Amino acid sequence: MTVRESILKTAARLFYQQGYSNTGINQIIEQAGIAKSSLYQHFKSKEELLMAYLQLTGTETLARLTQASEHGASPKQKVLAIFDYLAASVTNESFHGCHFLNIVYEMPHDALRVREQVKLQKEGVRNLFHDILQPLENEALANEIYTLFEGALIGHKVHNDPWPVLAARAVVEKLL
């Protein structure tokens, strides 16, 4: 693993577990086992590190959702497989909510660069539902299912319980 990868892996873990605002540069440096100059050689600022984290996590998340969808044969089964993946994820004790919603909750409204990166990731998820449901030629349905997906993430974060995800899945099953 390169120094850059080590820094990013450490920052990703800390940002996800304790939040961006609660994670200091010195903590990242200490836990990555690097010198301060090494961090700044690879990332100009904490925000640059956050952007790299969001880009990497966005790619990984979309890949996992796409992979989950491949367990289904029909559009309905593909979408339900994504909700099944989410239901399994939220019951894992290492799940601390959606990486992107967690960050956007912490950011002020004028953190446009960060918000745009989060929006880009969320559009990727929305487009995944559109792609899966394209044979049904119902764009509104894809948007509704995407909204249920995001609502399930928020509901889980609020209640710390899988029922919002399971309820959203049940609605999706009825819609499809």
CATH number for the domain spanning 123: value is 1.10.357.10
> CA distances (Å), 100 to each of 45, 121, 134, 136, in order?
19, 8, 26, 29
Whole-angstrom Cα distance, residue 77 to residue 73?
6
Number of domains forming the structure of the chain: 2
74 and 154, same domain (yes or no): yes
Q: Residue 18's pLDDT band (boundaries 50, 70, 90)?
A: very high
Range of the domain at 80: 50-175
59 and 126, same domain (yes or no): yes
Q: Are 172 and 148 in contact (CB under 8 A)?
A: yes
Q: Residue 1's pLDDT band (boundaries 50, 70, 90)?
A: confident
Q: At what angle do helices 139-159 and 112-133 cross, to 10 degrees?
A: 130
Whole-angstrom Cα distance, residue 136 to residue 125?
18
Q: Which two tokens stand for residue 47?
A: 């925000």
Mean pLDDT over residues 129-152, rounded?
A: 95
**What's the whole-model pTM score?**
0.93
| Tens-place pLDDT, residues 90-130 | 999 999 999 999 999 999 999 999 999 999 999 999 999 99
